[in-house]
Amino acid sequence: MQVPAPFEYERATSVDHAIELLGRLGASARLIAGGHSLLPMMKLRLVTVDYLIDINDLRRELAYIRVEPDPARPRSAGSRTGRRRTAGARTARSDSGDEAESTEDGVIPDGVIRIGALTRHRELLESEILRRTCPIFSEAERVIADPLVRNRGTIGGALCQADPSEDLTAVCTTLDASCVIRGPGGERVVSMAEFYRGPYETAVGPDEMLIEIRIPLRPGGSSAYEKVGRRAGDWAIVSCGAAVWLADGVITDARVGLAAVGPNTTGIPAVAQALRGQAPSEELFAQAGAIAAQYCSPVTDQRGHAEYKRHLAAELTRRTLRRAVARASGDDLLADDPQAPSGASRD
């Protein structure tokens, strides 16, 4: 069995302690949370680590999923759907035990979801808040790795690993997420486009730590995710996330994020441009798919041919847009998750 080379081990007791350790121990020090990105690399000796800083004890600070008003954004006077969250809504415990704002059924509030970087995949999968506001998360989590890995791996670990086939990067890009990075000098917030710099490279500096992911919430939106792999739990051949916002039957905004189609998970602004102001239709989804296929740069590898991946980019863009639109329209019939475990075949 492959085993890591020797290293020294420290346990961080707080975020600031972790940052202090990173600064003191230098470039060959790495943070470890779930470990399911880093440890396999260390076992295969593809990465050398002299100091490992265990941040699992920081879960008490950094494992949460919360909906909050976004202080940076003005409170809207009322959405065009005619529904809005009332101020001062109750706080309730979510399934993961974190504090959460409760939401009325079907209402996407105006605000921000804040996800601690040490939130585990399983918690994201089981979160009621995310299921209601950002179904893309539960759809993606269901096809990330497997249940045992999801019990340990964290969103922070996944994003910081920055594998070009990694699904949560595509999810966060689709949702126009921001990443909160803390360093010795304080905190800074960067967009996903700034955060993800290329394969295995992020904006997090050697003495910094990702501590939170923020998802902006706007009324009238929903999202979806779909992945094609050779087998359950496989890295994606292609996977795609889509988010749309509707008002008066027209798309006000749309975002698409693809994984495994090139060195960068791309947000494809051209898709948003093509969809804004348009009424949803199959022709429109096909147009968006064609744009997505055009803008990605897949390579032929063991998972599939570049041509096939390009085709998948188009196909999955169509499907996720279709589903996201159906959800945003409140059309439950079409909004079923096709990848949910089901005993019966889906006609």
d(CA 63, CA 116): 5
Q: Give me the least distance between CB of 88 and another protein, in Å please.
A: 34
**Shortest Å, Cβ 282 to another protein:** 13
Beta bridge partners of 196: 202
Name the residue nearer to another protein (CB basis): 64 or 285.
Answer: 285
* Closest separation in Å from C-beta 89 to another protein: 29
Helices (H), 110-196: 121-126, 128-133, 135-142, 147-150, 155-161, 167-174, 192-195
Q: Which of 228, 328 has the CB closer to another protein?
A: 228
How far apart are the C-alpha atoms of 124 and 142, rounded to whole Å? Answer: 10
Measured CA to CA, the distance from residue 325 to residue 251 in angstroms comes to 9
Residue 288 to residue 281: CA distance in whole angstroms: 11
> Which residue in the block uniquely carries the two structure tokens 């905004």?
253
- The DSSP call for residue 146 is -
Return d(Cα 77, Cα 110) in angstroms, integer.
10
Q: Which residues bind another protein (CB under 8 A)?
A: 1-9, 32, 35-36, 39-40, 43-45, 52, 54, 56, 145-149, 151-152, 228, 230-235, 237, 302-305, 307-309, 311-312, 315-316, 318-319, 341-345
Residue with smaller CB distance to another protein, 267 or 298: 298
The smaller minimum CB distance to another protein, of residues 195 and 225, is found at 225
CA distance 120 to 143: 14
| DSSP single-letter state for residue 159 | H
Min dist. Cβ of residue 195 to another protein (A): 25
Residue placing its CB nearer to another protein in the complex, 10 or 68? 10
Q: In angstroms, what is the minimal distance from the CB of 331 to another protein? A: 20
For residues 198 and 338, which CB has a smaller minimum distance to another protein in the complex? Answer: 338
Distance of closest approach, residue 329 Cβ to another protein, in angstroms? 22
CA distance 208 to 15: 10
